[in-house]
Amino acid sequence: MQPPFAGITRRPATAEATEADSAWITRVSAEPSNQQQSQAGSGPLDGLHFAVKDNIDVAGLPTTAGCSAFAYTPSEHAHVVERLLRAGARLAGKTNLDQFACGLNGTRSPYGPVPNALNPAYVSGGSSSGSAYVVAKGLADFSLGTDTAGSGRVPAGLNNIVGLKPTRGLISARGVVPAAQNVDCVSIFAMTVSTAAKVLQACIGYDEADPFSRRVTMASKPLPAKFRFGVPDTLEFFGDKLAEAAFTQSLEQLTGLGGTAVTINYAPLAQAAAMLYDSALVSQRYTAIQAFFDAHEEEVIEPVRSIIAKGRQYSAADYIRAEIDMLALSQVAGRMWQEIDVLFVPTAPTHYTIDQMQADPVALNRNLGQYTNFVNLFDYAALSVPSLMRPDGLPFGVTLIGPAGSDWQLADLGQRYHHATGLSLGATTRSLPEPAPIAALQAPATVRVAVVGAHLSGMSLNWQLTERDATLVEATHTAPDYRFFALANSQPPKPGLLRVEPGKGAAIALEIWEMPLTHYGSFVALIPAPLGIGTLTLADGSSVQGFVCEAQALTTATDITHLGGWRAYVNSLTHSTN
């Protein structure tokens, strides 16, 4: 048994609770005696307080999964909790959830519904409802949820916070009460992407005691500056015009960050999403708690009881057929990655009040999963980030989705997107801090090249740089040791740069561009003789790769050194014809 926590407050299963209390099932005091549970001052998460969804084990505290009859007190921390405490984080408590992590709305709990952090008349989203609420309200720096069908994303989108759903198996699920074990994963809520990414780094670790833990090859470079993002060919907002308008604005924002929208076939993704509850795959939910459910079915609340009981009706053959159908859909859906770098969807298509949800709990809950259910089934990574506040004061979030192992790429793009919104943090009035580098990403290898003629900004061949994701670094000059010529009979017109003896040349204007090294070879291949790439000395004495010219080609060229650069030469031609 781990050393006990001090100052524990446990809430009985009752719908009667204050708004803030409804998010918690067990609170833990921040007294110094609790710091024996962490390596305070010794890890990357030192000083951060966190909460865990109450289907994740914390030694000495009951794990209820939202059902008091199911509750047990573990003697060991869940693997992920142990890692967080070792990283210096401090536990604040365990949070309310849709019972047995079955739901996307936050109202399916005998401990009472968890309200939305910005408008308590509305749902918080589930099943990780309490974990999202305490972060949005600033009661915890980050929290753990779980995500099977969107429970780590929908509550983030509805509460104006970040929801990071990692690649399955990156974080061990040992010590987590499963919902559907072969598609579950532990998820992370935080105010900012950088905090969520820091927590993910602390959580990642192969665990041989978890049959679903795995070592994943992670993409280590950001997405290209110019990227393609997929948008479903059919979009459903269930009559919510404000959500529809919000997504249109979100598309414009992502385009402004360098993205190009590509329409993708959403049918196989939608078909997979439907199968999660409307096929033999739902038997996973029954299997997860079969012994308890068969003995205590009456202790499980509706509609959770009916959903889990539905899993009894399927045979092993039914389940195998469903798995084969899912693999076939995954193959079809996977073709989209040949055309796009990232998939972009609303986190949730609309927002319901608690009263609306309780009046029609199954259909409206299904609606909230319109853009989430397929992600774990297809082994994708996802990141939900805030996008804007709607005119009615409700938050609207968007989700970036990528193949397994794209977690750091999504974090990099998601942070850029989130910080471009200028939104406040969660349900607070605090402003976004400065963005922080995603430490796990390596900057792509680049090369700098100096251009002096038709490749300058606004000139006829500049597109050869920009289509290779090159960016302008600075405009400067060579050292005063070069002669500059306009080549004869070149189309489009081009200059030639020649190094000469000190005192016989001049400083020539140039631009320095930086491009990914992977594109450099194709750029150099476009350079026609007598031009080539050599080493240029700049005015400050440093060196850079740049355009040079063979000396014999300059015998018929016009010396334009006195003009100091190609742009001045082009301007002189224009003036001479006027």
Q: What are phi and psi of 90, to 5 degrees?
A: -120, 135
| Calpha distance 389→342 (Å, rounded) | 24
Q: What is the DSSP string of 428-466?
A: S-PBP------TTPPPPPEEEEEE-STTSTTSTTTHHHH
The answer to whether the bond into 346 is cis (omega within 30° of 0) is no
Q: Quick check: is 220 catalytic? A: no
Residue type, 132: A
Backbone torsions φ then ψ of 8, nearest 5 degrees: -80, 135
3-state SS assignment for residue 530: coil
E strand or H helix that includes residue 418: helix 407-421
Q: What are the residues whose beta carbons fall under 8 Å from the beta carbon of 47, sequence distance 6 or more? A: 40, 88, 90
Question: Omega into 303 within 30° of 0, i.e. cis?
Answer: yes
137 carries an active-site annotation:
no
- Which member of 38, 53, 279, 494 is catalytic? 53
CA-to-CA separations, 195 to 68, 201, 415, 477, 523, in angstroms, rounded? 32, 10, 10, 42, 39
Residues 467, 491: contact at Cβ < 8 Å? no
174 φ/ψ sector (left φ>0, alpha ψ -120 to 50, else beta): beta
C-alpha torsion sign, points 416, 418, 424, 430: negative
Element at 271 (helix H, strand E): helix 267-278
Q: Out of 151, 194, 250, 279, pick the active-site residue.
A: 151
Tokens of 29: 């005091």
3-state secondary structure of 504: coil
Which helix (H) or strand (E) is 489 found in, with range?
Answer: none
The backbone region for 152, taken as left when phi is positive above 0, alpha when psi lies in -120 to 50, beta otherwise, is alpha
Are 56 and 65 spatial neighbours (Cβ–Cβ below 8 Å)?
no
Instruction: Indicate which residue of 127, 128, 283, 387 is catalytic.
Output: 127
Token pair listed for 337: 């990655």
In the residue annotation, 127 being an active-site residue is answered as: yes
Query: Catalytic residue positions?
Result: 53, 127, 151
